[in-house]
């Protein structure tokens, strides 16, 4: 298990690499050039500068999250080939600097969607919250204006420049069905996977969060069946998944333990976090502790220990605790606690395994 921590960059994060070094067991930084617009090439110079900075703090920089996909590729517009060519360039440039896994997602317009960034939990901390009714009844344009006018919000997919164009984009998506989105994903992968494969890079798609359609937009990476369909698109070793327990697990019907059992070999990168789901389908993010939410984090870690999983793993969002001021979901403290829980489970399962193996070999000898 190769523990990593997501970091947004020197002038873009409240957390520093010096802070992250003090979390036990972290080997690598999950990074991105967040200021490069989706569709543009990540230049070698910019990549090299970031990778060197990360490495100078004793971390590897082998995982990128995310190289975002231009909407034209998802919609299947005539100009998509230009953006696909850029994506190939970016893959090559990243490979030159030791990147092994590129996380991406194929969600139209928005990345993860929540309705409150600071919902109180009973213990006095706050966390990201999703209220179904609000999303079902939302007027996107009004909401876009609210977000544009509030200065403290920068969510993935909700950047003011993009929201300003939201109406245009939504119109473009009006005729895009789930099947179209699958076709456009297949077209994209057909083009980029050979490049990724020949450069030793894995492309790892992140599931939709939440794993159902929002705002009438199609979403196609929602469950086990979708993951199987993804794998059926290409058997390239570069065609892989970013398993995310919190994204998939927000739908009770997704058995995340069963999913990880089936996909771990083809999921080089894992996001592990917990969510608590309410009767009405609303959900709130909780600490990583299994007992705090609906996701069986303990058993997910047991599955990983059973196969001696050696891929990359990171805690995902955390709560906001101890008065920390941070990006929504991406503070230092709760994610560090999450890492210690993952470390503890891993060590315990691994040592039980060793004891069992010793016991078996000693009974054979006697």
The contact set with ligand CS2 (CB under 6 A) reads 65-66, 103-105, 111-112, 156, 206, 209, 244, 271, 316-317
Among 202, 266, 271, 320, binds Mn ion (CB under 5 A): 271
- The CA–CA distances, whole Å, from 203 to 111, 189, 269 equal 17, 9, 10
Nearer to ligand CS2, 204 or 337 (CB): 204
190 is catalytic: no
Counting every residue, how long is the chain? 366
**244, 312, 334, 341: the active-site residue:** 244
Q: What is the 3-state secondary structure (H, E, C) of 141-196?
A: HHHHHHHHHCCCCCCCCCCHHHHCCHHHHHHHHCCCCHHHHHHHHHHHHHHHHHHH
100 is a site residue for Mn ion (CB under 5 A): no
Catalytic residue among 206, 320, 333, 341: 206
Q: Which of 209, 316, 320, 333 is catalytic?
A: 316
Output 125 or 315, the one with its CB closest to ligand CS2: 315
Q: How far is the CB of 194 from ligand CS2 (least distance, A)?
A: 22
Q: Which of 13, 317, 320, 341 is catalytic?
A: 317
Cα–Cα distance for residue pair 203/277, rounded to 1 Å:
30
3-state SS class at 37: coil
Picked from Mn ion, ligand CS2, none, the partner binding residue 131 (CB below 5 to 8 A depending on kind) is: none
Give the residue with the Cβ less far from ligand CS2, 156 or 160: 156
> Cβ distance 305 to 292 under 8 Å?
no
| Minimum separation from the CB atom of position 330 to Mn ion (A) | 11
* Catalytic site residue from 70, 97, 271, 288: 271
Distance in angstroms (rounded) separating the CA atoms of residues 146 and 356: 58
Examine residue 285 and tell whether it contacts Mn ion (CB under 5 A).
Answer: no
Which is nearer to Mn ion, 271 or 327 (by Cβ)? 271
187 counts as catalytic: no
- CB of residue 314 to ligand CS2, shortest distance in Å: 9
Partner that binds at residue 156, options Mn ion, ligand CS2, none, CB closer than 5 to 8 Å by kind: ligand CS2
Nearer to Mn ion, 101 or 244 (CB): 244
**DSSP state at residue 121:** P
205: enclosing H helix or E strand: strand 202-206
Is 62 or 316 the residue whose CB approaches Mn ion more closely?
A: 316
Could you tell me what percentage of the chain is helix, strand and coil, using 3-state DSSP and rounding each to the nearest 5? Answer: 45, 15, 40
When binding is defined by CB under 5 A, the residue of 113, 227, 244, 267 that contacts Mn ion is 244
Torsion angle of C-alpha atoms 217, 31, 63, 351, degrees rounded to 10: -110
Look up 70 and say whether it is catalytic.
Answer: no
Residue 206 C-beta: closest distance to ligand CS2, Å: 4
Minimum separation from the CB atom of position 15 to ligand CS2 (A) = 14
Question: Which does residue 38 bind out of ligand CS2, Mn ion, none, counting CB within 5 to 8 angstroms by kind?
Answer: none
Figure out which of the listed residues 214, 316, 330, 345 binds Mn ion, where binding follows CB under 5 A: 316
For 320, which DSSP code?
B
Residues with Cβ within 8 Å of 160's Cβ and at least 6 positions away in sequence, in order, are: 147, 148
Q: Report the nearest approach of ligand CS2 to the CB of residue 353 (Å).
A: 29
51: which residues sit within 8 A by CB, 6+ positions away? 61, 97, 98, 99
CA pair distance 315, 337, nearest whole angstrom: 9
Shortest gap between Cβ of 207 and Mn ion (angstroms)? 8
User: What single-letter DSSP state applies at residue 264?
Assistant: G
CB 287 within 8 A of CB 338: yes
Active-site annotation holds for 57: no
Q: Which is nearer to ligand CS2, 251 or 349 (CB)?
A: 251
Q: Which of Mn ion, ligand CS2, none interacts with 111 (beta carbon under 5 to 8 A by kind)?
A: ligand CS2
Q: Looking at residue 310, what DSSP letter applies? A: -
Task: Print burial letters for 21-59: b (CB count within 10 Å at least 16), e (below 16).
Answer: eebeebebbbbbbeebebbbbbeeeebeebbebbeeeeb
The residues annotated as belonging to the active site are 206, 244, 271, 316-317, 330
> Rule CB under 5 A: which residues touch Mn ion?
244, 271, 316
């Amino acid at each position: 298990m190769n523990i990593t921590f997501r970091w947004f960059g020197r002038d873009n994060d409240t957390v520093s690499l010096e802070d992250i070094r003090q979390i036990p067991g972290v080997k690598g930084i999950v990074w991105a050039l967040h200021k490069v617009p989706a569709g543009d090439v990540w230049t070698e110079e910019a990549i090299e500068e970031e990778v060197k900075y990360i490495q100078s703090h004793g971390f590897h920089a082998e995982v990128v999250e995310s190289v975002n996909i231009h909407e034209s590729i998802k919609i299947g517009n005539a100009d998509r080939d230009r953006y696909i060519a850029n994506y190939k360039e970016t893959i090559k440039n990243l490979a030159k600097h030791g990147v092994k896994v590129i996380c991406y997602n194929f969600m139209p317009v928005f990345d993860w969607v929540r309705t409150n960034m600071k919902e109180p939990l009973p213990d006095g901390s706050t966390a990201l919250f999703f209220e179904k009714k609000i999303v079902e009844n939302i007027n996107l344009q009004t909401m876009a204006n609210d977000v544009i006018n509030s200065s403290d919000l920068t969510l993935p997919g909700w950047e003011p420049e993009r929201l300003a164009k939201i109406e245009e984009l939504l119109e473009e998506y009006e005729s895009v069905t789930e099947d179209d989105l699958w076709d456009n994903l297949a077209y994209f992968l057909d083009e980029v996977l050979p490049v990724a494969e020949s450069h030793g890079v894995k492309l790892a798609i992140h599931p939709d969060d939440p794993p159902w359609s929002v705002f009438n937009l199609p979403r196609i990476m929602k469950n086990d069946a979708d993951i199987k369909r993804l794998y059926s698109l290409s058997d390239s070793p570069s065609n892989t998944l970013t398993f995310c327990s919190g994204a998939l697990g927000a739908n009770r019907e997704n058995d995340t333990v069963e999913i990880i059992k089936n996909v771990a070999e083809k999921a080089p990168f894992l996001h592990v976090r917990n969510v608590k789901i309410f009767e009405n389908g609303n959900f709130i993010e909780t600490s990583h502790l299994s007992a705090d939410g609906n996701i069986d984090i303990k058993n997910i870690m047991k599955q990983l220990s059973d196969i001696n999983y050696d891929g990359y793993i990171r805690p995902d969002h955390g709560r906001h605790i101890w008065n920390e001021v941070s990006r929504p979901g991406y503070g230092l403290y709760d994610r560090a606690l999450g890492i210690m829980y993952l470390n503890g489970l891993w060590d315990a399962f691994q040592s039980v395994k060793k004891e069992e193996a010793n016991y078996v070999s000693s009974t054979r000898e006697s």
